[in-house]
Amino acid sequence: MKPRVFVTYRIPEAGLRLLREQAELIVNEEDRFLNEEEIISRARDAEALITLLQDPITARVIEALPRLKIIANYAVGYNNIDVEAATRRGVVVTHTPDVLTDATADLTMALILAVARQVVAADRFVREGRFTGWKPELWLGMELRGKTIGIVGMGRIGYAVARRAVAFGMEVIYHNRRPANPTLAYLVGARYVSLQELLEQADVVSLHCPLTPQTRHLIDRHALERMKPTAILINTARGPVVDEAALAEALRQGRLAGAGLDVFEEEPRVHPDLLSLPNVVLTPHIGSATREAREQMAIMCAQSVIAALSGEVEVSHMVNPEALLLRNG
């Protein structure tokens, strides 16, 4: 009998095709996300789950699925999963790192350019029939050459953004919990600074840090007050890293020039004040939304599930390798 795999929301066919060869596949075909009760009900006999960031994979869900061996999260982040509860049960948790790096870095640069050059507002200006001809001071924006980008979180994506920013002639400063690989920092001329220095010096602050208790509302009212009034804030990391109410207030009062957000504090809800501001560009969590990245994510999830269900000692992209020790011990 083939092991049962439950997919909480349809992922690209490239991954599903691999799974169908190895397992009995059950896919939620509805265009909505499931709650805890629905996941428990539909996945009761599953040995594997493929989940999305919106799925509440709580301790309760994990305890209610006695045959569960692996949770493969179709995302880089995994804060939707109670990893400690999974580990106690010997359930492996995996994610999809690396494959999103270039896609997210590209979108970050797109948001920087869109905000700096007021692309979205200018597009609306033309569509509304208000463009009457070229004028010397029509829609003046900020040039990137010679400006400083401050990267909060110099991991894979942060470094990829730094490489792109250097190509635009920008200076790079960054802040991490600890200095990044010195060779990589040298290659982009990046200088390590405190968060306070970064906020005060950067013309563009770009967030690429994970969501932890320490980074929740990292960019709050006090942080925003340290930024230049001509600066812009970009968030392609996690929504709750930014206090959206404080950001909206700073933008409305002219204490910040603009912002580009791909993620939101209470996603999919967006703070209503942000929706009405012309100096904000909002995208619907599309950092990884390229065909190449999304298909590879599906394949990675499928390969992790197949490895775990086959009893392999090593499963790619585990976030809790100790779970295997507990299961096999």
Tens digit of each residue's pLDDT (9 = 90 or more) over 219-243: 999 999 999 999 999 999 999 999 9
User: CB of 8 within 8 A of CB of 52?
Assistant: yes
How far apart, in Å, are the Cα atoms of 237 and each of 57, 152, 218?
20, 10, 12
Is 267 designated active site?
Answer: yes
294 is catalytic: no
CATH of 4-99+291-328, one of 3.90.870.10, 3.20.20.70, 3.40.109.10, 3.40.50.720: 3.40.50.720
Amino acid at 194: S
Confidence of residue 216 (pLDDT cuts 50, 70, 90): very high
Which residue ranges does the chain devote to CATH 3.40.50.720?
A: 4-99+291-328, 101-282
The average pLDDT across 198-207 equals 98
Q: CA-based angle 118:124:128, to the nearest 5?
A: 145
- The span from the CA of 245 to the CA of 265, in Å, is 10
Mean pLDDT confidence for 165-172: 98
Three-class SS of residue 123?
A: helix
Is residue 177 annotated as part of the catalytic site, yes or no? no
Instruction: Write down the pTM of the prediction.
Output: 0.88
Q: Running DSSP on this structure, what letter comes out for residue 3?
A: P
Locate the DSSP E strands across 99-237. 148-152, 171-175, 191-192, 204-207, 232-235
The single residue of 95, 238, 294, 317 carrying the catalytic annotation is: 238
Catalytic member of 217, 267, 295, 327: 267
Higher pLDDT, 22 or 148: 148
Specify the range with the lowest mean pLDDT, choosing from 64-68, 153-157, 213-217, 311-315. 311-315
Instruction: Give the right CATH number for 101-282 from 3.40.50.300, 3.40.50.720, 3.40.50.150, 3.90.226.10.
Output: 3.40.50.720
Which residue of the set 60, 285, 295, 327 is catalytic?
Answer: 285
